[in-house]
Structure 1
């Protein structure tokens, strides 16, 4: 007799929950597949399994076996959940799906202007997806956490460093106490141990997650410090220790990945904090440094 537990997930949300539950027990190959599926659901919906596999550098048969490990007969059955999500996610999403499909099929211009066009198209897709994925409740709670913290500590290394530098600049201009846990001098871990439960740690990290950032986040969570994280996936190692994690959609490039979406999110959070600090939700302003 087949029970409900033996059946594969029937919708996208149930599938993602199952992937999260099993992620730590998966093989490295299956973890890479799981990360791609959760980070690029729109592409999974519109591309063939061979195209997805080629993009990941993993054989298509591994995607089929991954789907079968979750109870599906093949990858196509799993992909239907992504297609259903895309077509019902929001008004106008079907048109965006077709536009994305067309753009992904027209990447033949390898001139300097072609590189710019490719970046802009992908950034537009990432920013639109960001708007669709981030909840109003999380944004409001995150702004409250930043405003009420005694001191906001910031950490982000490698590609994430520009994001925390932007946060430090704006928080300073808003008159909010903040400390950047800089890797210079090897003191970041020791500085982090000064944090109290009345402070807040904002951590930013993307693949491949900087070890020091992950270790500081885990150690801080054990000490009772609330953590607000910006990362690229809900499968990120920052997920479990964080009170709120913003999973920012990313698109792979041959040479890099854009910071347009995480920078936009960081600035939006700062504008929300400015509205609270200035008691002015209609027209909050972030002060700028002026010449003396």
Structure 2
């Protein structure tokens, strides 16, 4: 690829990264994941600062840009800067605003970690408004609402997200089956999923191998798949009919589930709305008979 072939806008660059991702080296994949998940950081920080954050030499970022047809990293970075000029406030801007508000709370002086978690999680939840489009949420709800049975799959850190989805969808009147890995039969049970059913798969970095392989097999069998993950470069992306992303930002713990659970609840409500004839105020009953 020559320099003139390099994408001239941010959207074209992201498409090119997606197309080439599987053929990239592990270092280049790490760079690609950072660029796609942290576009505002890429726009405002120097290549040295970005490289230090990722533990990758700055020259690798330069070579990565050149492999995509740019003369250097600054040419690639210019696309992120153009995007930032017209984009909504990013993660860092939301964090700064929330931190300013939280610092006024004198009662939090002895619980800095609490403040940090609240700020980070609140900013991540706000970020879902930028990451998840109404069309994608509606399409995911259509798949789940129209399925005979919804098979739910998520392991390790993703398991709590799947559990809340199972509870909400069951109470909304949908037939759900959890692909529990504890008995060693998840892969075999998944092979009974029919195209009239749906698979809802949840996985975050570092993606559970069984989750990814089950999603791939289900996609090959023409099973509709709704996936929740942390990046459009997630290995679930290729198998997903609809991919909903809740990007992972740095935190005091390895993975906060606040944003993914918020996304799961929003999806369940969207399904409930369709089950309740398109009401704008869907409700999901609880096991006690009251409304959640």
Q: Structure 2 length normalisation: TM-score?
A: 0.89
Q: Which range moves more in the overlay, 140-149 or 51-60?
A: 51-60
Q: Name the structure 2 match of 1:52.
A: 50
User: Residue 254 of structure 1: CA displacement?
Assistant: 5.1
Distance 1:122 1:7 in 2: 38
Secondary structure in 2 aligned to 1:155? Answer: strand
**How far 1:98 sits from its partner (Å)?**
4.6
* Equivalences for residues 72-111 of structure 1 within 5 A: 72-90=70-88, 93=89, 98=93, 100=95
**Aligned equivalent of 1:19, options 12, 17, 20:** 17
Q: Residues 16 and 214 from structure 1, CA distance in 2 versus in 1: closer, same or farther, beyond 3 angstroms?
A: same
Give 1:72 deviation, angstroms: 2.0
CA RMSD of aligned residues (A): 2.4
Counterpart in the other structure of 1:129: 127
Does structure 1 conserve the Cα–Cα contact (< 8 Å) formed by 2:227 and 2:243? Answer: yes
Alpha carbons 2:18, 2:233 under 8 Å: kept: yes
Q: 1:112 to 1:163 in 2, by over 3 A?
A: farther
Partner SS state of residue 281, structure 1: coil
Contact 2:113 2:252 in 1 (8 A): no
Match of 2:190 among 167, 174, 192: 192
What secondary structure, in the 3-state scheme, does the structure 2 residue paired with 1:203 have? strand
Structure 1 residue 120: Cα displacement:
2.2
Corresponding residue pairs, total: 282
Is the CA contact 1:232–1:249 (under 8 Å) kept in the aligned structure 2? yes
Residue 270 of structure 2, aligned match among 269, 272, 289: 272
- How far apart are residue 36 of structure 1 and its match? 0.8
* TM-score, normalised via structure 1 length: 0.89
- Correspondences of 1:83-232 after superposition (within 5 Å): 83-90=81-88, 93=89, 98=93, 100=95, 113-232=111-230
For residue 228 of structure 1, give the secondary structure of its aligned residue in structure 2: strand
3-state DSSP of counterpart to 2:282: coil
Instruction: Give 3-state SS (helix, strand or coil) of 1:241's partner.
Output: coil
Gaps in structure 2 of 5+ consecutive residues: 100-108
Take 1:227 and 1:98, find their aligned partners in 2: how far apart are those partners? 34
**Counterpart in the other structure of 2:102:** none
The 1:270/1:248 distance shift into structure 2, 3 A limit, reads same
Alpha carbons 2:42, 2:77 under 8 Å: kept: yes
Q: What do the CA deviations read for 1:264-288 (whole angstroms, capped 9, x no partner)?
A: 1110011111112223623211111
Counterpart for residue 286 of structure 2: 288
SS at match of 1:71: coil
- Partner Cα distance (1:76, 1:32) in 2: 19
Q: Classify 1:175/1:232 alpha carbon distance in 2 versus 1 (closer, same or farther; 3 Å).
A: same
Aligned to 1:10: 8
1:7-56 CA-to-partner distances (Å, cap 9, x unmatched) read 32211101101111111111110000001111111222222222222221
Deviation sequence 1:101-152 (CA, Å, 0-9, x none): 7889xxxxxx862222222222233222210121111111111111110000
Tell me how far apart the structure 1 counterparts of residues 125 and 112 of structure 2 sit (CA, whole Å): 20
CA distance in 1, matches of 2:93, 2:138: 33
Deviation above 6 Å: which 4+ runs of structure 1? 101-104
Closer, same or farther in 2 for the Cα pair 1:98/1:158, shift >3 Å? closer
Distance in 2 between residues matched to 1:180 and 1:279, nearest whole Å: 26
Partner of 2:261: 263
Question: Unaligned regions of 5+ residues in structure 1, if any?
Answer: 105-110
